[in-house]
Amino acid sequence: MTIATVSLQYAVAGLFLLLSAITYRKWRTLRERTWLLFSFSVAMLGSIAGLARLAELTEFRYSIFNDLSVLAFLASGFGLLLVRHELLPLSRRVVRAAFVAVCAAAVTGIIVRIPMSPSAHFNTPDIVALWVLVVTWTACCCEPIVRFWIAARGRPAVQRSRLRALSVAYGSVVALLALVLSAGTHDPSPGKALVYQIFSIALIPLLFAAFTPPAWLRRFWRQHEEEALRRSMQDLLPFTETPSVIAERGLEWATRLLGADAGTVIDSDGRVLAMRGDVAAAHRVSPSPSPSESAAARPLQHNTIIVPLPMERGPGSIIVVSGPYTPLFGMDEIARLREYASSLAIALDRVRLVEALAAERSSYENLLQTVSDLGEGFLVVEKLKVVYANDAYSRLSGYSLEELKALPSIVDLGTPAAKEMVADRIRRRALGETFPDHYESEMIRKDGRRIDVEVAQKFITSGNAGVRTISIIRDITERKRSEQELRRLDLGRRTFIVNAAHELRTPLAVVNGIASMLATHRDAMTQHQLEEGFNALSRQVERVRILIDNLLDLTVLEQEAAEAVELQAVPLALAAMRALEAAPPPDGKVVEIALPDAVEVMADPMRLDQVLVNMYTNAYRYGGEHVRLEARDAGGSLVLTIADDGPGVPPDLVPHLFDPFTRGPDSRRMHGSGLGLVIVRRLVETFGGEVWYEPNQPHGARFSLRLREVA
């Protein structure tokens, strides 16, 4: 054996043992069995070369070196199988069977004691034992070689390259052994021995690269991934999914880029945005590190990287955990991940911004819809042109949104007064004057109907859009009408009270005046004066009584107006007779009742009697000598008329005939209350009927009532 070969043999043994020591150190740091088993396997390979050298130095006198070599050889193979078992678990049965095979081969090798000397003669048992050893060892190595190669398929570039490096490295060891065996059992030539040793040394960096690849090699492996990653980073920005989807996509690339096994993306609030693999189980790390923990890029453990995600809402983090196939992370991986994290953070910020804008828009639309649901019109106008109007405004104005947008000016919808108001507001705004945001105005609908509106308006200056007015418009036509009706009712009530007071003043004046004269001048009064005085007192007291009765009747009617009156069939002729008995004609008046006997109307009998009494009384006071009661059929209803041949109602009085305290020209002599016809109208309305006046021919008055006839 040449000196060079011997030196190389030492170098091989030393380098294998060095590699073993390095991997052992890794195991000491990481406490992962893979490293220990690999260290063991490599140490065993290295020790074979050392034992061969020792045997040679002792001139092959000690068989122990033979036995130890056999054991080391088989142990290196079995050690590799266990490495494979750690990375890709085998079934227990297979492991046990392999162990038994290895033990059997070891026993065979030890019993047969294969000679170590290159010059020794190999008999048949030696050759058989040698083949048993080689086949067993090769089986232990080849299975992982093939398995690693197959398992590399479809894995991220770094993992794939590393698995294949392992496969190639072990394949090379097997190839070396095959080369040695193919040369036969004889002592190789010095040249061949040198080649074997050089080949053995070449295996060292291959194995080293397979287990602890340097940064440049990792970068090399990553080259294709880097290209895809660049495209992914570009894709992240226009990608507008949810933050979780973005985070999952980003995490997929982060783990793929580093060839990592698991990872997670943590939001600024500690929430997990995405997770790949079993992070906690992969390296027993907390999935929710505090922001301070994730503030800087650093390995949390030797096989974990935490890189901060510098997001707008606060820092989050990406945690990447290496797997069994992942090379240890170095500064290069951290730098790459940090770079990627920045892009991911921007993408997350962007998608959140888009989400926030969408939420803002949604709440804006909800608000507008709510405003619309409440019937409030919402209008955005720019340079007097409609930019936006909600459904409620369209309903309010009668124009569709398209029609509103096509209007030359929104002011066209206003009445002249409203146009003037808008012009005034624009002028005051130009002058910088303040004016109220709320005002009432009028507008003309598409159908020409004028409506009253209440407007709350703001001027908004927004960038390129210029000045916009945003208005909420409410239709207050009904409210205005109600207010007018209330004012009218209030005026009517006050007028009623003034008139009632006036009606009481006259009789009180008579009572007061005559009573005071009776008290002071009774002795001076003639009999005639006394009689006239007492008669006047009596008439005025009666007048006050009637007035009070009528006022009470009206009050009761007002109270009962809202209540349903129970109607029944009332024979009209009988009711007319009853009323005539209650209000018989005074001297000089004649009443003629010309009603068919069988006619019945739907009414409240008591109220119908009161109606008829009032009508008779009215006719006696203001009519002529003859009063006639007649009825005619009017298609489902019956018209009852009281006609007289008096002077009739002066035309200027007719419109006010059924208003309170309206009385005929000669009323002061008649002592009426001025409420009789008002009461008649209210009573008839409770029956669902109506009352009206028309002049009689050739003269006189005709008061008619429409009543529901019983079929």
Partner 1 sequence: MTRVLIVDDEPDIVLTLKMILELEGYEVLDAESAERAHQVVAAEALDAILLDIGLPGADGWEFLEQIRARRSFDTGRVVVVTAHVSASSPARAREFGASYVAKPFRSEDVLAAVGRAVAKRESVG
Residues that bind partner 1 (CB under 8 A): 501-503, 505-514, 516-517, 520-521, 524-525, 529, 532-533, 536, 539-540, 665-666, 668-669
- What are the beta bridge partners of residue 648? none
Count Cβ atoms within 10 A of the Cβ of residue 619 and give its class: 0-12 exposed, 13-18 middle, 19 or more buried. Answer: buried
Whichever of 3 and 501 has its CB closer to partner 1, that residue is 501
- What are the beta bridge partners of residue 381? 386, 469
Least spacing, CB of residue 623 vs partner 1, in Å: 18
Whichever of 433 and 531 has its CB closer to partner 1, that residue is 531
364 token code pair: 């804006």
Using CA atoms, how far apart are residues 105 and 121, in angstroms rounded to an integer?
21
CA 187 vs. chain centroid, Å, equals 84
Whichever of 234 and 512 has its CB closer to partner 1, that residue is 512
Least spacing, CB of residue 526 vs partner 1, in Å: 10
Number of Cβ atoms within 10 Å of the Cβ of 571: 17
Least spacing, CB of residue 643 vs partner 1, in Å: 25
456 token code pair: 């709350």
Distances (CA, A) of 446 to 389, 398, 399, 449, 456: 15, 5, 6, 7, 22
Whichever of 526 and 559 has its CB closer to partner 1, that residue is 526
Nearest residue to 169 via CA among 198, 145, 196: 145
Residue 698, preceding bond cis, omega within 30 degrees? yes
Whichever of 333 and 503 has its CB closer to partner 1, that residue is 503
* 222 neighbors 257 (Cβ within 8 angstroms): yes
Contacts of 341 (CB under 8 A, 6+ apart): 254, 297, 307, 308, 309, 310, 318
556 token code pair: 């009761």
What is the SS3 assignment for 25?
A: helix
Whichever of 438 and 528 has its CB closer to partner 1, that residue is 528
Whichever of 501 and 564 has its CB closer to partner 1, that residue is 501
HEC readout, 495-537 = HHHHHHHHHHHHHHHHHHHHHHHHHHHHHHCCHHHHHHHHHHH
Using CA atoms, how far apart are residues 180 and 452, in angstroms rounded to an integer?
109
Whichever of 13 and 657 has its CB closer to partner 1, that residue is 657
Look-up of token digits 């893979």: 34
Whichever of 284 and 521 has its CB closer to partner 1, that residue is 521
Using CA atoms, how far apart are residues 306 and 289, in angstroms rounded to an integer?
9
Whichever of 332 and 659 has its CB closer to partner 1, that residue is 659
Number of Cβ atoms within 10 Å of the Cβ of 386: 22
Least spacing, CB of residue 497 vs partner 1, in Å: 12
Whichever of 200 and 540 has its CB closer to partner 1, that residue is 540
- The DSSP secondary structure of 259-285, one letter per residue, reads T-SEEEEE-TTS-EEEEES-HHHHH--
Whichever of 231 and 539 has its CB closer to partner 1, that residue is 539
DSSP β-ladder status, 590-594 and 626-633: parallel
Least spacing, CB of residue 670 vs partner 1, in Å: 10
Least spacing, CB of residue 676 vs partner 1, in Å: 18
Whichever of 97 and 515 has its CB closer to partner 1, that residue is 515
DSSP state, residue 325? T
Distances (CA, A) of 331 to 288, 302, 428: 23, 12, 68
Least spacing, CB of residue 695 vs partner 1, in Å: 20
What is the SS3 assignment for 142?
A: helix
Whichever of 434 and 520 has its CB closer to partner 1, that residue is 520
355 token code pair: 């989400």
Count Cβ atoms within 10 A of the Cβ of residue 191 and give its class: 0-12 exposed, 13-18 middle, 19 or more buried. Answer: exposed
Least spacing, CB of residue 525 vs partner 1, in Å: 7
Least spacing, CB of residue 533 vs partner 1, in Å: 6
Nearest residue to 152 via CA among 166, 142, 171: 166
